[in-house]
């Protein structure tokens, strides 16, 4: 119960993700499901006046198209461990602010990368219409951000994994990785940078120091 008491926002968010997963992928008919996913997708062709709504809604549904391992890593290390730790140490507003900022920043910068890469022939034009939704940008932002809450000796390897692990599963278009991988690297970098503002020597943190990431 201590975990729940100190991380209420994280557990509420997990409940929302579970509910949306059950609704979208298990209760809705196929045609309706695809309509919903197209409606929350932040791909380049879809973004317009509905962009703010799409940016919010896309972070409320877990993308299940990847491998089971990657989904578990994103949900467990990104939300349960990292977001939960940020909430415990920095408070809910700052934790979800970092998560949301990484999600939005990475989503928007990816659109710029896709537009430039399609225009120069690096990416095929089809990528502008591919479904793009999920929590991974925010989760990578949280993973990057939690680096500053680790012991000093653990920060370099943790940050290195956060920044470079996405490249291990990348599809490459010459020297350019696929746009999802680009977004993951951007979001981890954003999390590192944004959290550095809140976690400085001498700054008082919200929660009491704990021995482990989850504790």
215 lies in some domain: no
CATH of the domain at 73: 1.20.1540
pLDDT of residue 214: 47
Tell me the β-bridge partners of 173: 176
Gap between the Cα atoms of 91 and 79, Å rounded: 15
Biggest alpha carbon–alpha carbon distance for the chain: 54
Gap between the Cα atoms of 53 and 127, Å rounded: 21
The domain in which residue 61 lies consists of 2-198
Q: Quickly count: other Cβ atoms within 10 Å of residue 62's Cβ.
A: 22
153 lies in some domain: yes
pLDDT of residue 213: 55
Cβ contact 102:195 at 8 Å: no
> The tokens of 129 are what?
């219409």
Cβ contact 47:103 at 8 Å: no
pLDDT of residue 200: 61
Which residues 6+ apart lie within 8 Å of 193 measured at CB? none
Which residues 6+ apart lie within 8 Å of 3 measured at CB? 11, 84, 214
Averages of pLDDT over runs of 10 residues in the chain (215 residues) are 73 97 96 96 93 96 88 93 95 96 97 97 95 96 96 96 93 95 97 87 50 49
Which residues 6+ apart lie within 8 Å of 149 measured at CB? 85, 86, 89, 199, 213
Cβ contact 135:70 at 8 Å: no
| List of long-range contacts for 25-33, beta carbons under 8 Å, 24+ apart | 25/64
209 lies in some domain: no
pLDDT of residue 3: 58
114 lies in some domain: yes
SS3 assignment, position 172: strand
Gap between the Cα atoms of 87 and 70, Å rounded: 23
In the chain, how many domains are there? 1
207 lies in some domain: no
80 lies in some domain: yes
Cβ contact 115:122 at 8 Å: no
């Amino acid at each position: 119960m201590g975990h729940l008491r100190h991380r209420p926002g994280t557990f509420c968010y997990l409940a929302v993700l579970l509910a949306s997963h059950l609704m979208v992928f298990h209760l809705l008919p196929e045609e309706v499901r695809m309509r919903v996913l197209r409606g929350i997708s932040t791909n380049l062709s879809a973004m317009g006046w509905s962009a703010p709504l799409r940016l919010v809604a896309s972070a409320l549904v877990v993308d299940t198209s990847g491998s089971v391992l990657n989904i578990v890593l994103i949900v467990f290390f990104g939300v349960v461990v990292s977001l939960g730790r940020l909430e415990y140490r920095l408070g809910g507003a700052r934790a979800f602010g970092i998560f949301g900022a990484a999600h939005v920043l990475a989503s928007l910068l990816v659109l710029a990368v896709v537009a430039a890469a399609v225009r120069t022939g690096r990416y095929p034009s089809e990528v502008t219409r591919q479904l793009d939704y999920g929590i991974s940008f925010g989760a990578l932002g949280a993973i990057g951000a939690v680096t500053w809450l680790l012991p000093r000796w653990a920060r370099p390897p943790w940050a290195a994994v956060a920044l470079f692990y996405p490249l291990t599963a990348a599809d490459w278009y010459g020297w350019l990785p696929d746009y999802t991988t680009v977004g993951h690297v951007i979001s981890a970098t954003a999390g590192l940078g944004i959290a550095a503002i809140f976690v400085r020597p001498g700054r008082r943190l919200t929660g009491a120091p704990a021995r482990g990431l989850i504790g």
